[in-house]
């Protein structure tokens, strides 16, 4: 356990059997009593069946509802092992999680999910050209190219970009990149682990905007690429903000274009 001066936020995801959920909840109480926060994930019905939390821990333990994906292979209202006959156990495992979509700092998660048979999607919030500038996560591909060694190297397209493009870093952006890399080099290792551990690379982009870059990204990492459009603020949020209609103009154009698909 970390030093008591360091307050942690811990997520718990027990298997939906009360022989697992109750011990996990007891551990959550113990952790919360030491001053840390806990997010305890379980299905809605299982949360209702858990023992009530002591009032003095109510602010330290958050019960987060997590829905199961039931494809009708499970009996109605089956959310724990006590609700099903033994022959439905595999169906419960399948319903537990189909996919995990994770961020770069959860680079440790893919090997765990793979052992559990859960598909993994890495969602990088950058666009395709920005991600492509970082290069490949595959050693054999990385060995073919010399990485940039100074900021000026990033003000021109890298050698692995074989098509004409004006997309580059500006010098001050490249200097920030190198400063960040020199002080946080582990983050770039984490990026490679996050990409190499996924089954699908999810990108905030679309085919109409970055067709060549999306194809390059697939070649660099040897992973399917799923562009999910640029994901602006929701329509409800934007309609309450009339200071800038730029997003509305973009969305009107994108609505007429092909939507994101696997590249």
Q: Which residues are catalytic?
A: 20, 103
Q: What are the DSSP E strand ranges found in the chain?
A: 9-12, 37-42, 61-65, 99-102, 119-124, 200-203, 225-227
Beta bridge partners, 12, equal: 40
Residue 214: CB atoms within 10 Å: 24
Per-residue burial over 135-170, b if 16 or more Cβ lie within 10 Å, else e, is bbbbeeeeeeeeebeebeebeebbebbeeeeeebbe
């Amino acid at each position: 356990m970390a030093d008591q001066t360091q307050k942690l936020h811990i997520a718990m995801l027990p298997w939906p059997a009360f022989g697992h959920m109750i011990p996990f909840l007891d551990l959550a109480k113990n952790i919360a009593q030491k001053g840390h926060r806990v997010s305890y994930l379980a299905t809605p019905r299982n949360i209702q069946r858990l023992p009530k939390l002591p009032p003095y821990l109510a602010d330290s333990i958050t019960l987060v509802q997590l829905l199961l994906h039931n494809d009708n292979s499970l009996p109605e209202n089956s959310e724990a092992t006590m609700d099903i006959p033994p022959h439905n156990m595999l169906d419960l495992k399948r319903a537990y999680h189909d996919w995990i979509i994770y961020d770069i700092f959860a680079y440790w998660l893919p090997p765990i999910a793979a052992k559990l048979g859960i598909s993994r999607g890495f969602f990088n919030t950058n666009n395709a050209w920005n991600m492509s500038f970082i290069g490949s996560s595959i050693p054999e591909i990385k060995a073919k190219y010399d990485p940039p060694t100074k900021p000026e190297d990033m003000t021109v397209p890298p050698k692995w970009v074989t098509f004409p493009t004006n997309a580059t870093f500006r010098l001050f952006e490249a200097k920030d990149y190198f400063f960040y890399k020199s002080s946080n080099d582990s983050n770039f290792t984490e990026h490679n682990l996050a990409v190499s551990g996924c089954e699908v690379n999810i990108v905030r982009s679309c085919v109409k905007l970055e067709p060549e870059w999306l194809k390059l990204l697939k070649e660099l990492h040897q992973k399917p690429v799923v562009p999910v459009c640029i994901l602006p603020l929701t329509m409800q949020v934007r309609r309450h903000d009339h200071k800038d209609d730029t997003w509305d103009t973009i969305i009107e154009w994108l609505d007429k274009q092909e939507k994101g698909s696997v590249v």
